[in-house]
Copies of this chain bind each other. A is one copy, B any other.
Amino acid sequence: MIASVGHAASLAFEEALAPHGLHPRHFAVLKGLRGGEAQSQQQLAAALGIPASRLVGLLDLLVERGLVERHDSPTDRRVKLVRLVDAGRAELENLIAVAGQSERRVTAGLNAQDKAELRRLLGIVHANVAAEPDGARTRVW
């Protein structure tokens, strides 16, 4: 039930993002950089729970779009520090709005109280699925 409905909702979000030429994975990367502190690709990949080799392509696109910058670490020349630039922050805000629209479409027919209740319940579910027994989950979207 929650699995199939949830999967359908995630597909709806994926489709909402498609016209922007992005995938939920890119959204996850941008969110991972939201804090503002520059991170190495290793750190970011670990935080997202994806292989570093998979992050490369995602970042390539975001850099090409002018949303993210790679710059050399001053202390370790192997490392590339990645950070959100202003345009990327603006795009992230934009995508958050897109996510909100998708969510409103999906929760149509729920009154304000219902929506708040759904958010509360999903928050608890989120804590459960985030802390799965085997720890580091490899597949994230």
Nearest-CB residue, chain B, relative to A12: B129
Is B128 a contact partner of A2 (Cβ separation < 8 A)?
no
Cβ distance A117 to chain B, nearest Cβ, rounded Å: 6
**Contact string against B for A residues 102-125, beta-carbon threshold 8 Å, 1 for contact and 0 otherwise:** 110111111000100111011011
CA of A13 to CA of B8 in the docked complex: distance in angstroms?
Answer: 14
CA distance A85 to B139 in the complex (A): 34
Any B CB within 8 A of the CB of A4:
yes
Question: Within A1-23, which residues are at the interface with B (CB < 8 Å)?
Answer: 1-13
Interface residues of A in 123-140 (CB under 8 A from B): 124-130, 132, 137, 139
Q: In the bound complex, what is the Cα–Cα distance between A58 and B89 (angstroms)?
A: 43
Q: How many residues of A contact B (CB 8 A)?
A: 40
In the bound complex, residues from chain B placing their C-beta under 8 Å from that of A3 are 6, 9-10, 12-13, 24, 99, 102-103, 106
- Assuming A1-B103, A11-B139, A102-B3, is B124 touching A110 (CB within 8 A)? yes
Q: Give 20 new A-B contacts, CB below 8 A, not counting A4-B141, A5-B126, A6-B8.
A: A2-B9, A2-B122, A3-B9, A3-B102, A3-B103, A4-B10, A5-B122, A7-B7, A7-B9, A7-B141, A8-B126, A9-B129, A105-B128, A106-B129, A107-B128, A109-B124, A109-B128, A110-B121, A114-B121, A117-B121
Nearest 5 A/B pairs, CB to CB:
A6-B6, A3-B13, A7-B10, A8-B129, A6-B9
